[in-house]
Amino acid sequence: MGAGEDESPEPSAVPADVEHELVPPPFRTLPELIANAAAEYADTVAFTQCMPNGMNGSLTYAQVEALSDAFASYLREDVGLKAGDRVAVQMPNCLSYPVVAFGILKAGCVLVNTNPLYTASEMIHQFSDSGAKALVIIDMFADRLPEVVAPTDVETVVTVRIGEFFPPVIAGVIRLVQKWWNRSLPAITVEHTGLQAALASGRERLGKAESYVAHLDADSLAALQYTGGGTTGVAKGAMLSHGNLVANTLQMMQLLSTHIRPGKEVVLTALPMYHIFAFTVNLIGFFHEGARNILIPSPRPPSNLKRAFENYKITWTTGVNTLFNALLNERWFSENPPKHLVASAAGGMALHESVSERWRGVTGTPIVEGYGLTETSPALTFNPLGGVGKDGTIGIPVPSTDIRCVGEDGVGEDVGEDGELIARGPQVTSGYWNRPDDTANAMLDGWFRTGDIAQMDEDGYFTIVDRKKDMVLVSGFNVYPNEVEERIAAMPGVLEVGVIGMPDEKTGESVRAYIVATENPPTEAEVIAHCREALAAYKVPKSVRFVEELPKSPIGKILRRELRAIGVTSATASIETQGRELS
């Protein structure tokens, strides 16, 4: 919004067939949305799990519906959970995930998504904070259970196999490889129930499903989605209601409706579904549209996606900048790009223009960038398709969403001026679980404070300048890492780059760039000279470090906080030493 204005300007470049307001949703809750899609697309394949070697298994919409009904019955009738009880889920992308997640929602319980790579201490914090009474966990990480279960309220543990719902012979082969070749199956020493046994027990008690959700409405809590753990302090549970998630699903699909064919799309899901981006867009959004979801348990290394692209007619992908960049640097992808791709959606971190341009050149299709946070379910903005979007921006507000940029005094900034982005809409959280002070600090007169610095152009398109906390202050001047990273990323020989601020006696802070290089990497002097051509002197890196790997979040977002910690504690380390610390 402009300074002091109360309403967002009407974006002048919005397609005529995209509504500014959300069409009233026909569903109050996620179980209603799930049941509607399952009935409409019953015989369509809903999910296919594709392993790196091409082994796969699938479930139809009708199978997902029946299996999740059985799991809901198990939770309520066998385990004895009540409406509103929290259930933690800790697994990678696999066929079990939608069965379990949908079953929890159908049971009238609250889903607590948990990163399967969490350490025991991180698990204890999240389970204790949420008060989770049950845990569904992939068996590969069950070795942490003895340490985790005792100090928490978890009373029921359900274990899942990575090959669950695969054809028996294929599932058996996967199990043998895990057990004897990879040795990735630890002994499970706590009381637990296998998923198949839980489902069998649930089937025997079917019949009360409607009563489990009779109390639900749009304001009912659906999920606790934790944010901030490990990167921004103590993890906090953002409370996302059924209304938040239903609204955001339909907001996204309404914006993309001109390029989505109900019942015909094939979407590649490489981002983990326990992350809010893939949870809302891939899991719920494309399920609502009757799509076939190709699940990738792990996108690292990027060659894990090769067989999925070869074997399935992928029409949509979602990802982050690092994933798209990694694919572009795979010869098998660049020499034989997907032939049926319509578009790709990017979020989670800034999309570099150089990556966007290369992707369009290789695939002949666009990456449309959106923006959001865990607390906003997540999408707040998106670039409309149809040739009217603006590369380098995060697009326009999704329907029924107001956004503005404000200064430190809370007053709206003028067009083109930097300010903190704040938002309000039906997808915005009501606050943090059991944290009234954090909730109050996140709100400004009914608007959610994102902590991101942005600006709006004359057409109502927004651009993220950077995270407020990541800004580098050099001699009193603001330096936004995204701008420097964008410049360096365009250089030949640069695979990935992360920019941070380092303590400096003369300027307060100075800019440092960490680079993962490809063949024929640039030198430190060449990087600095390249930056000087387009950046003000105070923005130019004072130092450059070449490393083997950059620290990333589960979705591939570069973790600047960890880079800063390494930089401060290793200020005098050699380039080689820092490479080992990051790898």
471-582 CATH pick, 2.40.10.220, 3.30.70.920, 3.30.300.30, 1.20.1090.10: 3.30.300.30
CATH for the stretch 1-29+233-467: 3.40.50.12780
Length of the chain: 583
> In this structure, which amino acid lies at residue 490?
A
Whether the Cβ atoms of residue 548 and residue 516 lie closer than 8 Å to each other: yes
Instruction: Give the 3-state secondary structure of residue 219.
Output: coil
The CA distance from 399 to 395, in Å, is 12
Whether the Cβ atoms of residue 6 and residue 410 lie closer than 8 Å to each other: no
HEC letters along 263-295: CCCEEEECCCCCCHHHHHHHHHHHHHCCCEEEE
The CA distance from 131 to 78, in Å, is 19
Fold agreement (1-29+233-467, 60-216): yes
The mean pLDDT value for 26-51 works out to: 97
Say yes or no to pLDDT of 11 above 50: no
pLDDT tens for 530-568 read 999 988 888 999 999 999 999 998 888 899 988 988 876
The mean pLDDT value for 477-504 works out to: 91
What is the per-residue pLDDT for 569? 59
Q: Give pTM, 2 decimals.
A: 0.86
pLDDT tens for 351-363 read 888 899 999 999 9
Segments making up each domain of the chain, as ranges: 1-29+233-467, 60-216, 471-582
Say yes or no to pLDDT of 10 above 70: no
Phi, psi of 526 (to 5 degrees): -70, -35
The mean pLDDT value for 287-304 works out to: 96
Q: What is the mean pLDDT of the chain?
A: 90
> In this structure, which amino acid lies at residue 410?
G
Residue 109 token pair: 């319980």
Say yes or no to pLDDT of 572 above 50: no
The mean pLDDT value for 134-140 works out to: 97
Whether the Cβ atoms of residue 13 and residue 3 lie closer than 8 Å to each other: no
Range name among 123-127, 297-301, 515-519, 574-578 with the lowest pLDDT average: 574-578
pLDDT tens for 155-183 read 999 999 999 999 999 999 999 998 888 88
Whether the Cβ atoms of residue 541 and residue 527 lie closer than 8 Å to each other: yes
Q: Which fold has domain 60-216?
A: Rossmann fold (3.40.50)
Sign of the CA dihedral with 93 first, then 95, 96, and 102 last: positive
Tokens 């000087």 -> residue:
532
The number of CA neighbours under 13 Å toward the Cβ of 411 is 4
Confidence of residue 233 (pLDDT cuts 50, 70, 90): low
Phi, psi of 68 (to 5 degrees): -70, -30
The CA distance from 351 to 222, in Å, is 30
Residue 447 token pair: 């608007």
Residue 222, phi-psi category: left (phi > 0), alpha (psi -120 to 50), beta (remainder): alpha
Say yes or no to pLDDT of 350 above 80: no
pLDDT tens for 195-214 read 999 999 999 988 888 899 99
Tokens 């760039």 -> residue:
513
Instruction: Give the 3-state secondary structure of residue 406.
Output: strand
Per cent of the chain over pLDDT 70 is 93
Whether the Cβ atoms of residue 162 and residue 178 lie closer than 8 Å to each other: yes
Say yes or no to pLDDT of 5 above 70: no
Sign of the CA dihedral with 81 first, then 84, 87, and 89 last: positive
What is the per-residue pLDDT for 16? 62
What is the per-residue pLDDT for 232? 39
Instruction: Give the 3-state secondary structure of residue 528.
Output: helix
